[in-house]
Structure 1
Amino acid sequence: MARPKSQQHDIKRDEILDVAAQCFADRSYPAASMNDIAAACGASKARLYHYYESKEAILFDLLDRYTQRLLALIAQAEATAQRRNLDDRAALHELVRAFLQEYETSATRHVALLNDTKFLGPAQRELVLDRQRDVVSAVTRFLRRAYPQRLQAGNQTAVTMMLFGMINWTFTWLRPGGAMSYAAFAEEVIAMLEHGLKG
């Protein structure tokens, strides 16, 4: 009979995922090895295999959890909008704030999502890609409700991708503790949605 998993098991997995995401971001997924991840964890390779059978298993768990987190943020934003009786634009603004608050602490996970999904096996890759599509569809719904005259059938994808273009690449230039905070940048994105560059 298998031993029951301890509460520490998930805590340790979270720590491993944090370290692995950093290794993948620093070295690239193909270049990072199980030895690299184990060394960065301060553990033996055998101890790492106690939690994950392969580097691909680590990557999948990382992306599986992260995409679930993004979908949870959307659900939370919708619940908050209902609870606070926000109009559609205010609901979208809350979603933008929620995404950027998440991105502030999950840059390495976001890098893995953007760069490393292709290294998963077909079934796992499709699951992660389906979740990404669900995120895009949900954001399109928020945008369509917020700006019904602006979003039409022919431009929905372009406008949604424009919004993601503003927020998804912050890990390349926006630094916690830098000249602009993630919260301040969220307000700039919202101002751009509302007014463009006219002020």
Structure 2
Amino acid sequence: MARPKSSQHELRRDEILDVAAQCFADRSYAAASMNDIAAACGTSKARLYHYYESKEAILYDLLDRYTQRLLAIIGQVEATAQRRSLDDRAAVHELVRVFLEEYEHSATRHIALLHDTKFLSDTQRDLILDRQRDIVAAVTRFLRRAYPKRMDSRNQTAVTMMLFGMINWTFTWLRPGGPMSYAQFAEEVIGMLERGLDGAAA
């Protein structure tokens, strides 16, 4: 019988993923090597192979965990909305805030999701892309409930992707400690949703 992995083993994998995501962001996935990741982790390549069999395995675990995390956030917001009896618009606002809070602390993972999914095997890529579609579909449901007069079958994809367009690329320009925080930007996005969607429907 195989011995179960310890919590320390999983903690070490988390640390490796943090370092690898930074390496991929700094060097690009294609340019980063297992030697680079091992050096950044302060360990040997042989020790790194104890946790991951290849750079591709690291990338897949990174994106697998991250997309599961984003789906979990959606579930958490739905539960919070029910527990706090939030109306549909307040639920969307909460979703924007929590997504941007996550993005602030997961910028390198988000870069990998947007740039490096193409390097996965076909089966792995399909799974990650399916998760991304599930995320988009869930956000569409939030928006459709919050803005029923504005969202219809003709424009709901465009409106959902407009929202993602506002928040998905913050890692390129929104810096922690800069003139605007992620929390402040979340309120700007919420204000744009309220004024823009209401104004367009008027």
Band of TM-score, shorter chain: over 0.9
TM-score by length of 2: 0.96
SS, match of residue 196 in structure 1: helix
Aligned to 1:96: 96
- Range with greater deviation from structure 2 (4-13 or 72-81): 4-13
Shift of 1:7: 1.4
Shift of 1:198: 10
Aligned to 2:170: 170
SS, match of residue 97 in structure 1: helix
SS, match of residue 116 in structure 2: helix
The whole-number CA distance in structure 1 between the counterparts of 2:198 and 2:90 is 20
Matched, 1:180 2:180: yes
The whole-number CA distance in structure 2 between the counterparts of 1:197 and 1:128 is 30
Shift of 1:197: 10
Aligned to 1:84: 84
Aligned to 1:193: 193
Percent identity, aligned pairs only, is 83
Letter in structure 2 aligned against 1:135: I
TM-score by length of 1: 0.97
The whole-number CA distance in structure 2 between the counterparts of 1:22 and 1:157 is 32
Matched, 1:122 2:129: no
The whole-number CA distance in structure 2 between the counterparts of 1:82 and 1:53 is 43
Shift of 1:4: 2.9
The whole-number CA distance in structure 2 between the counterparts of 1:171 and 1:73 is 19
Structure 1: gaps spanning 5 or more residues: none
Task: Name the Cα RMSD after superposition.
Answer: 1.4
1:1-39 deviation line (CA, Å, top 9, x unaligned): 544312110100000000000000011111000000000
TM-aligned CA distance change 1:52 to 1:195, over 3 Å: same
Letter in structure 2 aligned against 1:148: P
The whole-number CA distance in structure 1 between the counterparts of 2:71 and 2:179 is 30
Structure 2: gaps spanning 5 or more residues: none
| 1:36-185 superposed matches below 5 A | 36-185=36-185
The whole-number CA distance in structure 1 between the counterparts of 2:4 and 2:101 is 35
1:100-153 deviation line (CA, Å, top 9, x unaligned): 000000000000000000100011100000000000000000000000000111
